[in-house]
Amino acid sequence: MSTCSTVSQDLDEPIAGTAATATTWLLVEQPGPWGAKALTQSHLDPALGRALEAATKGTGVRVALIRRPGRHADCGTPAKRQIYAAHTVPGNVWLHAATTRDPQQLLDLDFAALGRGDHHAFDSVLQGRPHTGDPLALVCTNGKRDRCCALLGRPLAAELTASGVDGVWEVTHLGGHRFSPTLLVLPYGYAYGRAQAHAVKEVLHSVQEGRIVVEGCRGNSAWERPGQAAELAVRTATGEAAAEALSVVRTDGAAPRWEVTVAHVDGRHWRVVVAQGASGPPRPESCGASVLGSPARMDVVAVRELTMTAALAS
């Protein structure tokens, strides 16, 4: 059976620079079925879903629904929901957790502050606290959005859970169905595609030690797509694995060509040239798409370490 994910893999479509963009993730537990637009097509009050979409627009906050892996029978409204908020910008990475019996409380959050990395409103409104458990592995399983996410994502989430991995949740939408199974790992915000259970376990083990695995990585959600590709290119070129060692500090240019400046916490800087290309030949960008497309790809053209003088000038 040919699917958007098998075609993408067969054509060896590059995966770097394809992660969803969000400086802060807000995750809301919602059991039961999800529609294609899950915030307004689930057992969450659709009026609340619309209000959350409106309130977070332009803030850098991305809201997603989560549920525990397994059967998704309609068990009614949960008495208590798990809520997470995670900020993914290096230098201020955090993951806080809370529970609520009234999801309408979420509308009392200061989303602009959350997007900037301020967790105080989350903590005060929801009695949130720093998450002390294992990293979160959020596996996209929303088959109503794309069947690959159900066909490939749900077995991955189930396998990870069955093998004793803590912190596994199913999540509604991470973009890039054709890279299924996809997942987001928090707190650091790196997304992965074409994921296999053994590789995910390695990723999670590394995250516990404050390290990032580059293989299979789509990028850090804190950056726009050219920055994602540039940061991963510097990691590859230097072998740097420390989670918060690198930051995208400047992006010059516009599609189809950017010059991205990546900084290391030790003061080193790199200039990375990223070009936007089109993946050929035309292929289905998602299952069920009636029109073939040529997905944009981020190609790293050059990686050059800057002298201290050039870095200061930039």
Give the pLDDT of residue 73.
Answer: 53
Percent pLDDT > 90 in the chain is: 67
Give pTM, 2 decimals.
0.90
Q: How confident is the model at residue 94 (pLDDT cuts 50, 70, 90)?
A: very high
Lowest mean pLDDT among 16-25, 44-53, 150-159: 150-159
Supply the pLDDT for residue 109.
Answer: 98
Burial 245-266 (b: 16+ CB within 10 A, else e): bbbbeebeeeeeebbbbbbbee
pLDDT computed for residue 11 by the predictor: 46
- At residue 152 the predicted structure's pLDDT band, cuts being 50, 70 and 90, is low
Angle at 163 between CA 98 and CA 73, to 5 degrees: 60
- Give the gyration radius of the chain's Cα atoms: 19
